[in-house]
Chain A
């Protein structure tokens, strides 16, 4: 594609095309979008974050990441669609315009680029990073068990061959540490949203402990509002609640870490499941998935905007 308008949002793209898309979007919207490279993956790929900002310095901000589990292709595809949606809606949609006039949005579309590349070239079912594990023939770490939040506890594996291997220590993966360093140095994130697939759930902290987080009541009602908005388009039904009560115990997860950093509005999504395809969600599902998810994202972003803390 020669520009972001002719990019085909309704299909899955290899990583070089997503990188090109990001550069096109920045070039076409220099006053709104910039690209920040927050680090490098193990194999040396840039960890690109798109910053949507209308000005100001160190404004309160919203973090969104997609694709930390590489095989969940609908998340990277949805992230690409979100980026274009933000550009298209700024100045047209009053709610998004108000948010962007006061806050910045940071979007990392390919959070695990080595895994994403590998899932396109060698193993479509790859979930983890691609860093070798000393003493093991098995490769990679589950980057959503590698955060410093209950790290090493139940709900993550200590075996390098497991799909949920937590890694040798918290933040051992550059893909995770780069976000940690960036979010800490920024210091003004007010929402942190991670997108996964599939199971149709909207979850909030905690995953590593049964102890309810102190904002449990507010997060629960916000999740309810978000999944109601999501369902308004196609009737897609989501379950919602804390990770440990809704799915299972999981330690070392991203939103438990972000919440413990003081980012109150920390959520993770499990996107659409047609009931037949799992991670091989057909391409005709991409735009409906992204469109309905956007409703929920707007609910969370709007609540964050209207409830400063």
Chain B
């Protein structure tokens, strides 16, 4: 079973087309192992990306060095998945 301990989902905010292009380039860069949850569209729309724990530091440095604003949309993905699973299990037990 694949787990996502420490994975974060970052919400990135491009201020201009150049920054948008930089984020777009990340999608083709397999080194960071990024999973784009919401892809690049335009500067008005944030981009959501799941980042594995072991690449968090390097991706955040990359964003900060390019002055790309971001926020942490999900702090620990596995914690949220565990919550979802608990909710499903308890809902399934109600009829029992």
Contacts and interface: CB of A to CB of B under 8 A. Distances in A.
Contact of B41 (A159, A247, A278): A247
B48 A12 contact: no
Interface of B: 1-2, 4, 9, 30, 35-41, 45, 48, 50, 73-74, 77, 80-81, 84, 87-88, 91, 95
12 contacts: A11-B87, A124-B4, A124-B81, A125-B77, A163-B36, A246-B41, A248-B39, A276-B74, A278-B37, A279-B37, A280-B74, A282-B87
Contact of B73 (A11, A122, A123, A278): A278
Interface in A172-211: 198-199
Nearest to B9: A278
Given A163-B36, A246-B41, 13 more contacts: A11-B91, A12-B84, A12-B88, A125-B4, A125-B35, A125-B77, A198-B37, A199-B38, A199-B45, A247-B39, A247-B41, A278-B37, A280-B84
B50 A125 contact: yes
Interface residues of A, number: 27
Contacts of B9: 278
A121 B1 contact: yes
A277 interface: yes
B71 to A, nearest CB: 11
A132 B77 CA distance: 27
Contacts of B48: 278
Residue in A163, A276, A278 whose Cβ sees the most chain B Cβ within 10 Å: A278
User: Which secondary structure dominates where chain A touches chain B?
Assistant: loop
A302 interface: no
A90 to B, nearest CB: 28
Nearest to A121: B1
Interface of A: 1, 8, 11-12, 121-125, 159, 161-163, 198-199, 246-248, 273, 275-280, 282-283
B35 A278 contact: no
> Which 3 pairs, one residue from A and one from B, show the smallest C-beta to C-beta distance?
A123-B2, A11-B91, A278-B37
Contacts of A121: 1
A125 B42 CA distance: 25
A94 to B, nearest CB: 35
Contact of B91 (A125, A163, A275, A283): A283
A11 B63 CA distance: 37
B74 A159 contact: no
Contact of A278 (B1, B38, B95): B38
Contacts of B91: 8, 11, 283
A123 B39 contact: no
A122 B87 contact: no
A91 B33 CA distance: 51
B41 A162 contact: no
